[in-house]
């Protein structure tokens, strides 16, 4: 990486955001009354995964929306790679947020579809950057909470997540 080049993780975050904005329409399903579809400008990169701190994070976010952030931990396998290159894992958290009226059934169809659209878009796919360079050669997903019960009960807020681990093969050392 040269001094003028963005970090690999930042480029992955941007490519993920742009991929969702340009390739997926997040619409309301069936007779659900979810707020509306997710507009492109509501798919945003954030510094940290919001977790459960509603007052500090979710309160001022556009809803419905998707927040994209680095995952809290980035575990690495020291044996992944080869003599001159390492396989580096970049876990990224995608959190779908929306206002919810506390109904136990309504909107679940829509929210599950939105969550599925996120992981299916990235699962086992190569992620390319602006100039077509391969940022990550494969990705794996892990479903997070389908509903964060605390936020749903306290604030009538639906929050669900998908963690995608993007794997990048990188030359050792700083170039």
Query: How do the domains of the chain map onto residue ranges?
Result: 8-171
CA atoms within 13 A on the CB side of 79: 0
d(CA 123, CA 142): 10
Q: According to the model, what pLDDT value does residue 161 have?
A: 84
Q: According to the model, what pLDDT value does residue 125 have?
A: 81
Q: Regarding beta strands 85-99 and 65-70, do their DSSP bridges make them parallel or antiparallel, or are they unpaired?
A: antiparallel
Residue carrying the six token digits 């992620």: 127
Q: According to the model, what pLDDT value does residue 146 have?
A: 64
Q: CA dihedral in degrees (41, 45, 48, 54; nearest 10)?
A: 0
Q: According to the model, what pLDDT value does residue 2 have?
A: 40
Q: According to the model, what pLDDT value does residue 51 have?
A: 53
86: which DSSP letter?
A: E
Tens digit of pLDDT per residue, the chain (175 long)?
344 588 889 999 999 999 999 999 999 888 887 667 899 999 999 886 555 555 556 666 778 899 999 986 666 665 555 666 677 888 899 988 888 776 777 788 888 899 999 999 988 788 877 766 777 777 777 777 666 677 777 777 788 888 888 888 777 766 6
What's the longest Cα–Cα distance across the chain?
55
CA atoms within 13 A on the CB side of 61: 28
d(CA 105, CA 109): 8
* DSSP 3-state of 2: coil
Q: Which two tokens stand for residue 127?
A: 């992620």
Question: pTM of the predicted model, to two decimals?
Answer: 0.82
Q: According to the model, what pLDDT value does residue 123 have?
A: 84
Residue 110 neighbours by CB distance under 10 Å? 25
As a CATH number, domain 8-171 is: 3.30.2000.10
Residues 6 or more apart from 28 whose CB is under 8 A from it?
34, 36, 37, 110
Q: Which of 175, 7, 170 is nearest to 84 (CA)?
A: 170
């Amino acid at each position: 990486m040269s001094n003028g080049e963005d970090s690999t993780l930042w480029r992955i975050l941007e490519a993920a955001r742009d991929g969702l904005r340009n390739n997926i329409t997040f619409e309301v399903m069936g007779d659900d009354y979810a707020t509306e579809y997710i507009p492109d400008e509501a798919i945003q990169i954030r510094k940290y995964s919001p977790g459960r701190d509603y007052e500090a994070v979710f309160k001022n976010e556009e809803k419905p929306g998707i927040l994209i952030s680095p995952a809290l931990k980035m575990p690495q396998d020291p044996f992944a790679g080869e003599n001159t290159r390492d396989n580096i894992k970049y876990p990224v958290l995608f959190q779908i947020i929306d206002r919810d009226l506390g109904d136990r059934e309504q909107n679940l169809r829509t929210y599950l579809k939105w969550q599925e659209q996120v992981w299916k878009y990235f699962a086992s796919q190569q992620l390319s950057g602006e100039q077509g360079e391969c940022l990550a050669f494969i990705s794996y997903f892990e479903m997070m909470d389908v509903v964060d019960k605390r936020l749903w009960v306290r604030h009538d807020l639906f929050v669900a997540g998908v963690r995608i681990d993007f794997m990048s093969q990188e030359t050792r050392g700083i170039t």
